[in-house]
Structure 1
Amino acid sequence: MPAAPSPTAPRAIAPAPGLSFHRVNDPTEGAFTVEVPSGWRVEGGTTRLSAVDVRHSIRVWSPDQQIYAFRGDSSLGMFIVPSQLTDMANLREGSVYQGPAGSMVIQRYLPGIDFVRTWLGGAQRQCSGLRIVNQESFDQASRQLMADLNRVFGGTAQYRIDAGAVDFACGASGNVGSVTATTMLTQIVGAAAPPFWVVLDLGGFIAPVARVQEAAAVAARLQSSFRYDPAWAARQEQTTRQVSGILQSTHDSISRTILQTHQQRSRTLDGVFARGAEARRGTVTIDDPALGRRTITNSHRYYWTNPQGQIVGTDTDTAPGPNYRGLRIVTP
C-alpha cells in the first residue's frame, strides 16, 4: 500500500460520557494494537490467507449486548475489474481469479456508498428487516485523498478513491446503524492488466436509537486508535523500518480525512434516525401557529390548511385552493 503524504495522526472523536478505553494487541499475529471500551467483549485479529493476503478486523459488544461496533471485515480481500482479459479466460463477475498476489474476486468497482449497500445485504443476521434511511458521499475527503496519492505516485499508478456512509434501521429490533467505507481503484500505469480495487477502510455500528452517540464514539475510536506494530510491518514487507511508516501513514491519512467528516456527521445522526423513524411509521410532523404541532400521515410532499382547519397534501408546491396556506414540515 502506498505511503500517503502528511503522516500526522488523526484526531479522535471525543468518547461518550461514561466510556473508558484501553489498548489491546492483535491476538493472532501481533500485527496491530487498537483501543477498545473497557468491559466490552472483544473479538477479531489478523486473518492470513496467503503471504500477501492479510486482513485485519476488530469487533466489540457492550456488556448488555445492545451496542455492536466494528472495524474491518476478514472476509474481504482484493477485487479485479472485469475486462476482456478475464472474459477470454472465461472468468465471469463473481468468480475468483488466482493471481500472483493471491485470490481476487472479479467484481466491477463499487464506490464507498455502493459497496456498503451491497455489503449490508449480508448483514440480515444482525439487523433483520434492514432498511436504508440515509446515505452520504464524502466527496471532499475522497478528492483530497486522491489528490495526495496521485501527486506522489501518479507516475506509477492512478488512483480513484470514494468514501461514503450509509445509515439504516433494523425493522425487528428497532435498532439503527451506520457503516462507512472507503474504496480505492488502482490502475498501474502502462500495465496491460485490468484495474484492481480494495476496501481501504470499513467500520460502523448497530445500536438502539437512544445510544447512537455512544456507538458512534466507539466506532470512531476503533478507527482512529488503530496502530500497526512496526516489527510486524517490517517482517511482513521484508524491508526497512520505513514500511511501518508507509502502512501507518496511509491509515492515518485516511482516518484523519474521513474522521473530520465523521465529526460533522455525528452531530446529525440523531436527526437522521428520527427522520427514518417517521418514514418507517409513515408519518410526518407539521407545525402551524393556528393548528399547533401535529403528526399526520406522510403521503405527500407538501401540506396545506384552510380557514376551517382542514389539512390537504399535494405533490407540488402549488396551493390546492385560493384560501389555503402552507404548513411547515418539522425536521427532527
Structure 2
Amino acid sequence: MAKSQKLLTLCIAGVALMSTTSGPTTAFANDLPANLDQASKSANQLKWVRYTDPAEGAFSMDIPVGWQIQGGMFRFGYFDVRWMMDARSLDAKTIVRIFDVNVPPYTLPTRYTGRQGQPYSRPQQFQMMVSRYLDGQSYAELYAKHRFSDSCKIMKPRTSDWVPTLPASWKDDPGGRGTQGSVSFDCDTSDGPRVATVFVRTTVYPNGLWFAAPISILSTPDRVTLAHDMVQHMIDTWEKNARWEQYQNEMTKIGLDRIQAGFQQFMQQMQAYHRERSAAMNQQVARFESQQSNQAQQVSRWGETLTGLQDVSDPMTGTQFQVFSGPKANYYVNGNGVKVNSDVSPGAGFHQLTP
C-alpha cells in the first residue's frame, strides 16, 4: 500500500493538479467600479486586492482591481485536484490565464493504461489522459494553437524569450524531471492585432505520470510587458493554505481507504468465484472419472466376452483368477483346482466361485 500512497500523492503534489468541488468563480476584483485606465497602467501602478479561493480556501493571491476575475479550485476526484485563474481587462485587450483545469494529468501509454489519446479514469479518484511525454517547448507549441485557435484568424510565430520566475513551492517533487518552453505569435483577431504568448512547464515522474502547467497571455502589442509583469506579480503572491493541505491529506486518506475497501471486496468476490469454480470443476472431474470407470468396466466386459474369459474369486482363499466362459450360470472348484461350469454343485468337495 505504501507504493500506492506514493503514486497517488504525486497526483496532489504537482502544481498542475490542485483543484475544487465547485465551478469557476467570476467576479470583479473587490467588487470595485471598473476603470478602463487601470488596464493600461504598468504592473507597479496597478491596484491589487487579495483573492482567496472561494471553493475550498486552498490558496490566495493578489489580483488587479477593476479586472474581471474567473477561477479558483476544481476537484475531479480524491487525488485529482487542479486550479486556474483568469484575469481579463474590461476592454478585453489583455487576457491572462494561469494554469488550465482543462489540461488533465497524463499517464504514459502501457498495456495497463491503454493507447495514446485514450481517457484513463477511475470514478471519484482521477480523470487522466493517456499520452506520450511532451517536453515544455513541444507542449507550449501545441497548447498555443489549441488555446487561441478560436480567437486568432492567423498566427505568425515571433521571437519569444519570456520565462516567468516560478515560486519555490511550485518546484518539481523529488524524482520528477521537468522541462519548460515558451512560444509567441502575432495574432490577427476580429478586434485588431494581438500577441499570443504561452509558457509551459512539463514534469514527468518515474511511475509514468506527467503534468503540464501552462500560462497563457493574449494582449495588444503595447500591453505585452504589462501582461508579463502582471503574471509575475500574481504568481509571486500565490500562497497555499496550510489548512487546505491538511484537508487534502484527509481526502487522500479517504480515497485510499475506499480503494482498499474496494480491493478487499474484490478479493472476497474473487475468492467466492474461485470456490464456486473449484466446486464446479471438481464435480466435472468426478463425472468424468465416473464415466471413465464405467467405460473401462464396459470395455473389460466386452473384452471378456470376446476372449471367452470371465473374472471370478475363490471365497475360500480370496484369490482372483479367470475361467473360460460357459453356458451355465455358476462356476465351482474343488481342492485339486478342478473348475466346473454348472447350474448346481457337481458334488462333494466343490464350492462355488463368485464373479
Q: Same fold (TM over 0.5)?
A: yes
Displacement of 1:221 in angstroms is 1.8
Q: Give the direction of change, closer, same or farther, for the CA distance of 1:36–1:137 in structure 2 (3 Å limit).
A: closer
| Distance across 2 between alignment mates of 1:104 and 1:3 | 14
Distance 1:73 1:79 in 2: 14
Show the counterpart of 1:205: 217
Q: Confirm whether residue 115 of structure 1 aligns to residue 139 of structure 2.
A: yes
- Does residue 97 (structure 1) correspond to residue 124 (structure 2)? The answer is no
The structure with the larger Rg is: 2
The aligned amino acid for 2:45 is G
Contact 1:203 1:223 in 2 (8 A): no
User: For the Cα contact (< 8 Å) 1:42–1:60, is it kept in 2?
Assistant: yes
**Who is 2:206 aligned against?**
187
How does the TM-score come out when normalised to structure 1?
A: 0.56
Q: What amino acid sits opposite 1:218 in the alignment?
A: M
Match of 1:133 in 2: 158
| Deviation readout 1:35-56 (Å, 9 max, x if unpaired) | 1111111001111111111110
SS, match of residue 109 in structure 1: coil
Change (3 A) 1:149 1:36: closer
Q: Could you report, residue by residue, the CA deviation over 1:163-197 in whole angstroms, capped at 9, with x for unpaired residues?
A: 12111121233100211111100004xxxxxx110
Mapped partners of 2:227, 2:162: distance in 1: 21
Letter in 2 for 1:24: Y
**1:202 CA drift (Å):** 2.0
* Amino acid in the other structure paired with 2:181: G
Q: Could you tell me how far apart the structure 1 residues matched to 2:181 and 2:227 are?
A: 18
Shift of 1:99: 4.8
Matched ranges for 1:236-315 at <5 A: 236-238=248-250
Structure 2 equivalent of residue 224 of structure 1: 236
8 Å contact kept, 2:172–2:178:
no
Contact preservation (8 Å) 2:178, 2:204: yes
Distance 1:137-1:34 versus aligned 2 partners, 3 A rule: closer
Distance in 1 (alpha carbons) for counterparts of 2:216 and 2:144: 11
Q: Does the CA contact (< 8 Å) of 2:144 and 2:197 recur in 1?
A: no
The question of whether the paired residues in 2 share the 8 Å contact of 1:113 and 1:137 is answered with no
Residue by residue, what CA displacement relative to the aligned partner does 1:224-244 show, whole Å, maximum 9, x if unpaired? 2211111111101129xxxxx
Question: Does the Cα contact within 8 Å between 2:137 and 2:182 map onto a contact in 1?
Answer: yes
Preserved CA contact (<8 Å) 2:177 2:204: yes
Looking at structure 1, the residues matched to 172 and 67 of structure 2 have their Cα atoms a distance apart, in angstroms, of: 37
Contact 1:67 1:208 in 2 (8 A): yes
> May I ask how many residue pairs the two structures share in their alignment?
209
Worse-superposed segment, 107-116 or 94-103: 94-103
**Inter-CA distance 136–79: structure 2 relative to 1 (3 Å threshold):** farther
Classify 1:198/1:149 alpha carbon distance in 2 versus 1 (closer, same or farther; 3 Å): closer
Please, what is the CA RMSD of the aligned residues? 3.1
Equivalent-residue separation in structure 2 for 1:128 and 1:21 (angstroms):
34
Match of 2:67 in 1: 40
User: 2:162–2:199: 8 Å Cα contact kept in structure 1?
Assistant: no
* Counterpart among 72, 94, 107 of residue 80 in structure 1: 107
Mean Cα deviation higher: 179-188 or 216-225? 216-225
> C-alpha distance in 2, partners of 1:197/1:3?
9
- TM superposition shift of 1:136: 5.5
Identity among equivalent positions (%) equals: 23
Would you say the 8 A contact 2:98–2:214 is kept in 1?
yes
One-letter code aligned to 2:150: R
Contact map agreement 2:196 2:216 (CA 8 A) in 1 = yes
Alignment-mate amino acid for residue 122 of structure 1: H
Asked if the contact 2:109–2:115 (Cα under 8 Å) also holds between the matched residues in 1, the reply is yes
SS in 2 for 1:164: strand
Runs of 4 or more, structure 1, over 6 Å off, are: none
Deviations 1:276-326 (A, max 9, x none): xxxxxxxxxxxxxxxxxxxxxxxxxxxxxxxxxxxxxxxxxxxxxxxxxxx
Matching residue's letter, 2:129: V
Q: Output one character per residue of 1:205-234: Cα deviation in whole Å (capped at 9) or x when no partner.
A: 111111111111112122222111111111
Q: 1:67 aligns with which of 94, 110, 135?
A: 94
Match of 2:45 in 1: 18
Gap runs ≥5 in structure 1? 5-14, 189-194, 240-332
1:102-153: CA deviations, max 9, x gaps?
Answer: 2220111011111111112222223332233235597xx99x99xx868xx4
- TM-score norm. by structure 2 comes to 0.53
Cα distance change on mapping 1:17 and 1:136 into 2, 3 Å: closer
Contact 1:137 1:164 in 2 (8 A): no
